[in-house]
Amino acid sequence: MNNRPLGAELLNTARETLKGLVNDLPREKQYEALMVLNAMAIAAREMTNADEANLQLEGLKKLYETDEHDESSLLELSRRLARDIRQQKFDNDSEAYTFLIETATRKLRVSNPKYLKG
């Protein structure tokens, strides 16, 4: 069974097609088209990095030393982390710092990969 093209591939093909049309659009519509192109690129990268939520949840469970059977959700643990950061519970904690840097880096790879090159 052939499951090609994948969603990310379809988005990239549509994006490349639209990219070729941008200069033919009226000037006042070009900015909007560029925003659509950027959104399509982000969506395609998100589709290829679908494991991000699982990686983040695993990292939070490790940070809070919970076992893999813990039913805490990503949202619950993320809120707990934010609250703990505000209460300075992770000051000078290298494991928490590493988790936050890795999470931010993975998110940048999806939302703005050019930033990481600089």
Contact between 117 and 108 under an 8 Å Cβ cutoff? The reply is: no
Look at residue 2 and tell me if it is in a domain: no
If asked whether residues 43 and 57 sit together in one domain, one would say no
pLDDT number for residue 1: 52
1 within some domain: no
Give me the percent of the chain exceeding a pLDDT of 70. Answer: 95
Domain span at residue 14 reads 7-48
Is this prediction's pTM over 0.75?
Answer: no
pLDDT in tens, 94-107: 999 999 999 999 88
Instruction: Describe the chain by its helix, strand, coil percentages, rounded to 5.
Output: 75, 0, 25
